[in-house]
Each structure stands twice: as C-alpha cells, then as structure tokens.
Amino acid sequence: MSHVVVLGAGIIGITTAYFLNKAGHRVTVIERNAHAGLETSYANGGQLSYSYVAPLAGPGVVPKIPPWLLRADSPLRFYPKFDFDQWRWCLNFVRACNRPQAEISTVHLLRLAYYSRDLIHDIVAKEPITFDYRRNGKLAIYSDAASFDGARRTLDFQRAFGSEQHALDGKQCLALEPALQHVKGRLVGGIHTPSEDAGNCHDFCVAMEDLLRKRGVTFLASTRIDGFVRNDSRACIAAAHTTSGEIEGDAFVMAMGAANAWHAKRLGFYLPIYPLKGYSLTLDTSKAKNFASAPRISITDSAYKVVYALLGEELRIAGMADIAGYDTTLDRVRVKLLISQAKAVFPNAGDYAADLKPCCGLRPATPKGTPILGTTPIANLFVNAGHGALGWTLSCGCAKLVSDLISGQQPGVAMEGLTLET
C-alpha cells in the first residue's frame, strides 16, 4: 500500500488516519499543535446529531439576517472584512437559503450521517478507547409556534429518509427532561430524536492518537506546514514543506479545518469554505443542587441556537456563529451572553461563577452546509473539509469515504453532492 500524509490532527484528520491505517496504508500525520484535537475539536458541542442535520442555509434564514445583525444577542453575527472570500461566501450562502437546496443538502447530510453513525458505533464496540460516550438521545426545543411548525415539516420530510424523530408538546418535553422546568413558560414543543449520541470529541482524538501510534502511524506534532513541493510536471505533490523538513508521500489529505481554504488557494484552486467562529463553555455539574438540575439528554435550544451535552459530570454548552474571518480571539461579550443564556435555561446545573473554561473555534463551513470530500485538481491531493458544525457527527463517515477513494475502493455511500465538483 502507499504512504499517505494526513495534514491535520483534529477530529477529521485523526479519523482519516484511522481508516487509512485500517486499510493497510503507511500513514504520517502532521499537526501544528502538541497533540491531536487541540483546536476546533477541543471543546465542541459534544453532540453526535445524526438525524438533526438540516443545513444552516434554510428557507427561513434570509428574513432573519437583518434583525440578527442588529441584535447584540444574535446567534449569528457578521463582522465585515476587506476580504473577497468572505463576501463571496456570504453571497453563495444567501443563494443557498431556499427550500429546494436545503432539502437536497439535508438528504446528502442524512445519508452521510447515518453512515458515520454506523462507523462510530463499530469503533465504540471494537476499540479500547473511552471518551464519555453515551447514547442518550436529543431534544430540540422551540419557543414559538411558527418555528415548531417548521420543525415538524422538516421532521415529516426527513422521515422519508429513515430519520426517527417525534414531535412533543411542552408537557411531554418536561416529562422527558425535567431539568427544562425553568423554561416551561416559553416551551411550545420539541423534536425528540432517541437515536442521537454524545461524546467528548477531544478525548476521542487523544485516545485515537494513542491507539494509532501503537499501530505504527507516525505523528509529527508541533510541526507547521509552510507549503508544498510539486513534482517535475507539477501534476502531483511530491512533499509537504514543514518546519520539520520536507515530508514525502504518495498521497496527501487536506484535513486542516478552516486553513484548508488558504492552502488550496496557494495551490491554485478554490475551496468554498469560510470559518464560522463558535463558542463553548464547560460547566461542572457534580455539585448541582439535585439530579434534575442538569439535562440527562442532549438539548438544542432553537431560539438561541445553543446546544447542551452532558459529558461525564460536565455540561458542554456551545453556540453562536460569528462570520469574522480567521480571528480566534475569545470575545468576552459573546462569552458573557452564552453564560446568561445557559443560566436562564439550567440555572442550578452548576456554579456559573466558577471557571467555565470558555473556548472558541473556527468551524469550516460551506455555503450549502455539505462537506467537500475526495479528489482535487491535483492528482494525489485529497480533501476532507467543510463540515461546519457537524464535524464530530460526520467525521467517521467522511474519513472512511476518503480512505476508500485513496485505496481505489468503492465508497460505502454515494458521493453525490459531497465533492468539489458538486
């Protein structure tokens, strides 16, 4: 088998390395941090939402954009830059905000998410790793009738493609998750998905790195990629130019998150990816006032676009999307807002005055909401990019598809709508 160099060791890179190693390839992983999963994968929302995969670009989004841009507590904030790629991405995002495109993207995402679910379950069953994994289901709650009606229409559409979801009224939501008692006054209804999972993405990355090292995968940590060396015909990449020297390979996989777009541009092609900065908090629930103070199942508050996932004794709280370029500065105003929103929903889940470990990360998103997988204009360069807020959910499915393509195997699911060409 060939020598494959994986560029990046977040959740996308680490799962790509896993399936390539399993397929028999010699694998080298290059990571600019000290170990795997230290950037966007570090403190993500924790939810594995296989059925709840509707793209951000939906038919009802455009009318909401002007109010969102004017509100300090908006889930989506736009920070305009003198950046052509930012404006091009925003224009294509608006163009994708229609029902036909949203339904097409949803079908592609569901197909990929179910495939990824099967692969994650197989890893959990067979590999000696722990990452606070639980199969606890998910409840998306709604605060107004119009949004809930739209969610039920989406539910009806997704059922035709195998999604197992149930619409609940407010009382049923409270019966399912008693910790929601503090929002019962605005709780119109919810969509319950029993099959959803949760897990600590960073712990998964660390455990997989340790496992892969034992299986012969080479990790070049604290190593920055500066560029690429092309072969004489320039049709292929001969080596990655790094701070650890030139790393040669037969094939290369771009799994660098938001940085993929920048490297693609230097190589002469365009990846329609732009970062959406998200924020997270981690709350210790071990001293919560009672058992019903913190949610036992994963919660998505659709009114504020905030997600909650119980990881061991910690409640991961994540949300917001700032279109602010590649700035990774932690915006304290946004952090304070996220704290206030979480405290209003689960006020007794833990000590909000304690260290909540605020983090932010750049979610690499495409306008349509579907990732970009597979071949590029460069013969031996492959891409695994553009997963947006679904990187953890889609990671194993995307990694296996890319590994199959490199191995010359038939992909496990159709690649329609998931490639650079589409």
pLDDT per residue as tens digits for the range 249-286 = 999 999 999 999 999 999 999 999 999 999 999 999 98
Element (H, E) at 388: none
Q: CA-CA distance, 346 to 309, in Å (whole number)?
A: 12
Give the torsion through C-alpha atoms of 196, 106, 276, 240, to 10 deg: 90
Q: Compute the distance between CA of residue 215 and CA of residue 127 in angstroms, rounded to an integer.
A: 12
Pairing of strands 237-242, 245-248: antiparallel
pLDDT of residue 68: 72
Element (H, E) at 5: strand 3-7
The pLDDT value recorded for residue 290 is 62
pLDDT confidence of residue 291: 58
Cβ–Cβ < 8 Å for 13, 385: no
Q: Which residues of 208-222 are buried (b: 16+ CB within 10 A; e: fewer)?
A: bbebbeeeebebbbe
Residue-level pLDDT at 158? 86
Name the residue type at position 410: Q
| Other CB atoms within 10 A of residue 114 CB | 19
Residue 336 makes CB contacts below 8 A (sequence gap 6+) with none
pTM of the predicted model over 0.85: yes
Euclidean distance between CA atoms 373 and 259, whole angstroms: 15
SS3 state at 293: helix
Domains and CATH numbers, the chain: 62-82+134-197+274-365 (3.30.9.10)
Burial 18-47 (b: 16+ CB within 10 A, else e): bbbbebebbbbbbbbbeebbbbbbbbbbbb
* Residue 348, helix vs strand vs coil: coil
140, two tokens: 């998306």
pLDDT at residue number 289: 62
CA 92-278-186 angle, to 5 degrees, is 95
Amino acid at 356: L
For the chain, the residue count is 422
**Which stretch of DSSP H or E encloses residue 246?**
strand 245-248
| pLDDT value, residue 229 | 94
Q: What per-residue confidence (pLDDT) applies to 310? A: 96
The Cα 418–Cα 406 span in angstroms is 16
Low-confidence ranges of the chain (pLDDT < 70): 69-70, 289-292, 422
